[in-house]
A and B are shown apart, each in its own frame.
Chain A
Amino acid sequence: MGFFLTLVLLVVTLGVAWRYLGSYMAAVFDGRVHFLGFVERPIYRLLGTRPEQEQTWKRYAGALIIFSAVSLAITYAILRWQGSLPLNPQHLGAVGSALSFNTAVSFVTNTNWQNYGGETTMSYFSQMGALTVQQFVTPAVGIAAAMVLVRGLSRKSFSTVGNFWVDVTRCMFYVLLPIAFVTGIVFVADGAVETLAGTATIHDVLNGVTQTIARGPIGFMESIKQLGTNGGGFLNANSATPFENPTGFTNFLSIFLLLCIPFALTYTFGKMVGSVRHGAALLAAMVLLFGVWVGFTSAAEHHNNPAVAIAGVHSTVGNMEGKEVRFGDTSTALFGVASTQTSTGSANGAYDSFTPVGGMGLLTGMMIGEVTPGGTGSGLYTMLVYAIIAVFIGGLMIGRTPEYLGKKIQAREVKLAGLAALIMPITVLIVTAVAVSVAAGRAGPLAGLSPHGFTEILYGLTSQGNNNGSAFGGLTGNTPFYNVIGAITMLLGRFAIMIPCLALGGALAEKNVVPESLGTFRTDNGMFVGLVVGVILIIGGLTFFPAISLGPVVEQLSQLKVF
């Protein structure tokens, strides 16, 4: 599919998803959808809870932490003991402890950073029973956390914010499983591999070599990989291989799936707070930034790679190094931007081979906090944090105690929003500083102690700090050092942001609503969209500008031109 046709189709299909998936999700989380009640009820009975039994934000957060800790333990245990577990046709042994820890954290935080090649490390049981399970539950956890913040804004003088177990269950059964099941069929029908048989061995008589072809239950993992903005593929080459992403159509479907829930959640938000316009304002801010990044990165990739040009190779089709011919330069850039800005991190090309500016497009897309549209749930709650900061600054400028949807934004809210906003940049900068300072960290990048090597480290840790999982390539990550520091980064990037957001939801829910008047700061118009975009760019830009200038900027300026 051509680049522009893809764009047009995406706009149309995502528009439909925004409206209908968005309002469907609002109905699900308001408890108005019941057709799977026969599945829900036994689960609640098992968990000892009832839908009408709501939790305060603290209990909600407690449940979320317990659930994630148990998930982490189970995932870790399966990887460590996969040798003794079934569905292991290749008889793969236990995954190393540091790598198991990194991988377990990675999948429990919805990051899907992979310091391993799937086909040579993970048994089918590990892939299906540990990793794919997390690919289903972690987006549900993210969306549940977002619902707390949304309820905080929509409720008036309430002490509870919902029931964690109920939210996660409903999200799984009413949203994720049905969509993933149907689209999984499409992937398989289009040629994605789905088998429990072990590797195939082919003897190539002509060349006299024997090839081992990895395969497995890939197709159904593919749909949830994208839909849940997970990004962790079965195979090491991720969406670049035809086994995972067989056709131009599945490539389009992948992009659609990874964008649909994060975008649609803004409609859900609007619907639940009683003003779709407010949801549309957040959507506009997301689309604006996303569009700029797509344009910027595609333009960069449509030009020659300066390093290749210096080597004397002149291409007329853009920067094709490291890209699938099936997809081409600009569509790979589109996939890359969609995947990095949704915290998915799946890849259909080699990002390391992007031009410095193109690579910077992907890197900065993560640095602005994964809000355009960001991960499932995490995109919305982080966006709301930025919106609240924008409301605070903008609200003061009109001479009123700032309020968002009638909720006064005061010291407690600013403290929590500020905390949620600064955790990511501080974490990423500090762990990067550690990595570039110690020998174990310096040994990581393929490009050595150069600006490109710096970018490789920065990219890897930014990706993990934002729970993205996108890999730039070029960083040797499966070392004790990177496994551990990466896991810490991912945990902070997930829970140190999520918990303040839950607290924020609790604080907002308790507040009374100030009725709207002509003097109210409008949070559903173009001016507000501009302010939110400004806050995102300023926070992201001001915190990462120095680091960026030492990486991709220096690298590109060495070529003495911008593109």
Chain B
Amino acid sequence: MSTLLAPTSSEPSRGGVAQSRGLFDRAILRQALGGAFVKMDPRVQAKNPVMFVVLVGSVITFVEACAHPSTFTWSITVWLVLTVLFANFAEAMAEGRGKAQADTLRKMRSDTEARRLRSDGSEELVAAALLAKGDVVVCEAGDVIPSDGEIIDGIASVDESAITGESAPVIRESGGDRSAVTGGTKVLSDGIVVRITAERGQTFIDRMITLVEGANRQKTPNEIALTILLSVLTIVFLPVVVTLVPFGNFGGASVDVVILVSLLVCLIPTTIGALLSAIGIAGMDRLVQRNVLAMSGRAVEAAGDVQVLLLDKTGTITLGNRMAANFFPVGGHSEQELGDAAQLASLADETPEGRSIVVLAKEKFNIRGRDLGPAHVFVPFTATTRMSGLDIGARQIRKGAAESVKRWVGDAGGSVASDLDEIVERVSRAGSTPLVVADGSEVLGVIELKDVVKQGIKEKFAEMRLMGIRTVMITGDNPLTAAAIAQEAGVDGFLAEATPEAKMALIKKEQEGGKLVAMTGDGTNDAPALAQADVGVAMNTGTTAAKEAGNMVDLDSNPTKLIDVVEIGKQLLITRGSLTTFSIANDIAKYFAIIPALFVVAYPQLNTLNVMRLHSPQSAVLSAVIFNALVIIALIPLALRGVKFRATGSAAILRRNVWIYGVGGIILPFIFIKLIDLVLVALHAY
């Protein structure tokens, strides 16, 4: 699974793509301010129907202000332009973070030289940018790998921190699942021959740059649906406002165009319209912050809809390795006797399992490593003996699979204690692996090697269940072992003795039932399943085939990250939904501010509707417009960070958001429009 020499941290990394930046990084702020003005281009604005209406409205009030200049008309015009600028600023802020990351990546890509092999075996130096697919290059210690490729010969330790932020080097070698290398990473030792697999300009880094920049960002399905709803709300308010002219004229009330435009701008959903694309970009960015690259926004959104998570047992649910948990002596031997022999047999065993036996013996009986004298020989594990151990003089200590050790003891003329089989059986049934220890012809007992379930994972699965997501453990273990671990980890189901075909069949079965499935994978044989899953997260340590089949790549290669991805997907939708609700709820207060002001001359009795007791018609309209503009700025942090997500049931989430953004959205503008009015009066503006 993981080929990292040091364990990866599940915390967001601090290097690589995901360089941590504050929400309001100064450089990004400066860039976004400029961007806000650049985006005033009507061709850019036309893509956003809501803000386009505001822009057109500001042109109308501008013309009106030129024709009939007054503080009021000019103030409205300025604030309408500011509304558009604030929306542009929000989008530029969201894009700015991606741009900064792209710049870092670009630096990495530039000016690398490649040592290309000619067909006759000689080397030539070419610029990395000129490498074509199929070229073969040599990289030795200190070289930067010029482009993505497959190792065809050799082995090397590679520093991939430029991409993953993880400083510990990884081993890459020809053949198997660790043969893929990424352009921009650096060979630390040894040398490799690489066949380039990426087309020019299509390398992993190139794709990363495009992604984080959001250059060809496609609107996601839910975003498109929401844009339609916002367009509907914009279209419906156009006749609402325009018909007020004839309605007013009917009773002899003339209607002020500037106020009418103000009313329209206040009614159409400018808040969500202004922040919609920023929310989408920021959602992708949040994934990048956690070192996950989503190949499309669609995948991020699908993650929020996922109902089944397929999780690999090893590395996700359990720690990578089994650990010694218990000693069970047999045939009247003491536990300490067993522990002592087990430790001796494992001293030279550098596997994590072996080390855990040494540690367990030390913890239980305070037995430490000792001087074995000169006459000792370590017996390594081989596939034929399926045992390992130690010979000290004539004393032979072995540990290994039950059948092998029994046979070995039998060959040595010893007898097997009668209770051994029962204990071996019991340990297996509990989902653990039994290792039998023998000293010469005597079987001393059984070491229980246990799969250790990751801390806190059970709680995580309980949260998933509350969110309506089924977790399925995928393992190569036999059904007995799998059932025991599944029970301990608290997953909802498991697929034991999993083959790539079984995995694929499981995904298809769930999808036919209408469910969306997410999975992680790294091997080439995972590729079809990754492609079939709605959300397929490929590990960066995995093969090129896996990375291309999935729709996300986890640079940390941490399979637990799938859970974070789901949460980010949900948070993205929640933020959009909540701000839409807020935006619509705001309209009520704005009506009460503007309608009395609009007709106050013809119908002074309408002042009864002026429930906020705003100072004058002009101050009322201006306060509503200012509120409408400022609320965009005020909500930028929320749009970029996302609405707080809690893993609870849907009813609780809905209740919370309806209260905060629905009811809050009704009340809040009444308060703030009144406050803005008071400030305007205090400033003697009116």
Contacts and interface: CB of A to CB of B under 8 A. Distances in A.
Nearest to B590: A542
B229 interface: yes
Given A399-B304, A426-B236, A517-B307, A410 B243 contact: no
B247 interface: yes
Contacts of B246: 433-434, 436-437
B252 interface: yes
Contacts of A129: none
Contacts of B224: 411
B355 interface: no
Interface in B639-665: 645, 649-651, 653-655, 657-658, 661-662
A413 B250 CA distance: 38
A273 interface: no
Nearest to B307: A517
B225 A515 contact: no
B293 interface: no
Given A393-B577, A527-B651, 19 more contacts: A389-B229, A393-B229, A397-B574, A397-B657, A398-B577, A398-B650, A400-B305, A401-B573, A411-B221, A432-B247, A515-B307, A518-B466, A525-B651, A543-B240, A545-B591, A545-B595, A549-B599, A550-B244, A557-B603
A542 B662 contact: no
A520 B645 CA distance: 16
A303 interface: no
B469 interface: yes
B251 A454 contact: yes
A534 B244 contact: no
Contact of A515 (B240, B241, B248, B515): B515
B306 to A, nearest CB: 9
B232 interface: yes
Tell me whether chain B's interface is mostly helix, strand or loop, or mixed: helix
Interface in B555-593: 569-574, 576-578, 580-581, 584-585, 587-588, 591
A409 interface: yes
22 contacts: A393-B229, A396-B573, A397-B577, A398-B570, A398-B577, A399-B304, A418-B231, A418-B232, A422-B236, A437-B246, A437-B250, A514-B515, A518-B465, A518-B466, A522-B651, A527-B651, A527-B658, A538-B587, A539-B236, A546-B263, A547-B243, A550-B253
A518 B654 contact: no
Interface centre among A418, A449, A515, A519 (most CB of B within 10 A): A519
A414 B307 contact: no
B609 A553 contact: yes
A401 B301 contact: yes
Interface centre among A389, A393, A527, A553 (most CB of B within 10 A): A393
A396 B571 contact: no
A395 B229 CA distance: 14
Interface in A409-435: 409-411, 413-415, 418-419, 421-422, 425-426, 429-430, 432-434
A413 B465 CA distance: 29
A560 B603 CA distance: 12
A538 B665 CA distance: 13
A531 B581 CA distance: 11
Contacts of A520: 468, 650
Interface centre among B222, B224, B573, B595 (most CB of A within 10 A): B222
Contacts of B661: 397
Interface centre among A401, A425, A522 (most CB of B within 10 A): A401
Contact of B605 (A429, A450, A539, A560): A560
Contacts of B499: none
A550 B247 CA distance: 7
Interface in B450-482: 465-470
A28 interface: no
A442 B246 CA distance: 11
A519 B606 contact: no
Contacts of A401: 221-222, 301, 304-305, 573
A450 B602 CA distance: 11
B22 interface: no
A557 B602 CA distance: 13
A518 B307 CA distance: 10
B650 A542 contact: no
A425 B236 contact: yes
Interface centre among B253, B574, B608, B650 (most CB of A within 10 A): B650
Interface residues of A, number: 67
Interface in B4-58: none
Interface string A523-553: 0010100110010001101110111011001
B304 A543 contact: no
Interface string A335-377: 0000000000000000000000000000000000000000000
A46 B222 CA distance: 47
Contacts of B572: 399
Interface string A238-267: 000000000000000000000000000000
B240 A546 contact: yes
A426 B239 contact: yes
Given A396-B580, A433-B243, A512-B514, A414 B228 contact: yes
A233 interface: no
B152 interface: no
Interface string A430-453: 101110110000100000011101
Given A406-B514, A410-B222, A517-B469, A394 B654 contact: yes
B239 A518 contact: no
Given A449-B250, A449-B251, A519 B469 contact: yes
A150 to B, nearest CB: 20
B229 A414 contact: yes
B640 to A, nearest CB: 17
Contacts of B570: 398-400
A53 interface: no
Contacts of B235: 422, 426
A207 interface: no
A207 to B, nearest CB: 43
Contacts of B577: 393-399
Interface string B507-532: 00000011100000000000000000
A187 interface: no
B3 interface: no
A201 interface: no
A397 B658 contact: yes
B484 interface: no
B576 A396 contact: yes
Which 8 residue pairs across A and B have the least CB separation, nearest first?
A519-B468, A396-B577, A399-B570, A517-B468, A418-B232, A397-B577, A518-B468, A557-B605
Contact of A554 (B231, B469, B606, B645): B606
Contact of A542 (B470, B515, B591): B591
Given A389-B229, A394-B654, A512-B514, A399 B569 contact: yes
Interface in B255-304: 263, 267, 301, 304
Interface centre among A418, A525, A539 (most CB of B within 10 A): A418
B228 A418 contact: yes
B110 interface: no
B487 interface: no
Nearest to A425: B236
Given A392-B229, A398-B654, A514 B247 contact: no
A521 interface: yes
A450 B253 CA distance: 11
Interface in B580-626: 580-581, 584-585, 587-588, 591, 595, 598-599, 603, 605-606, 608-609
Contacts of A442: 250
B104 interface: no
Nearest to B231: A418
A496 interface: no
A433 to B, nearest CB: 4
Interface string B168-181: 00000000000000
A427 B422 CA distance: 83
A399 B645 contact: yes
B415 interface: no
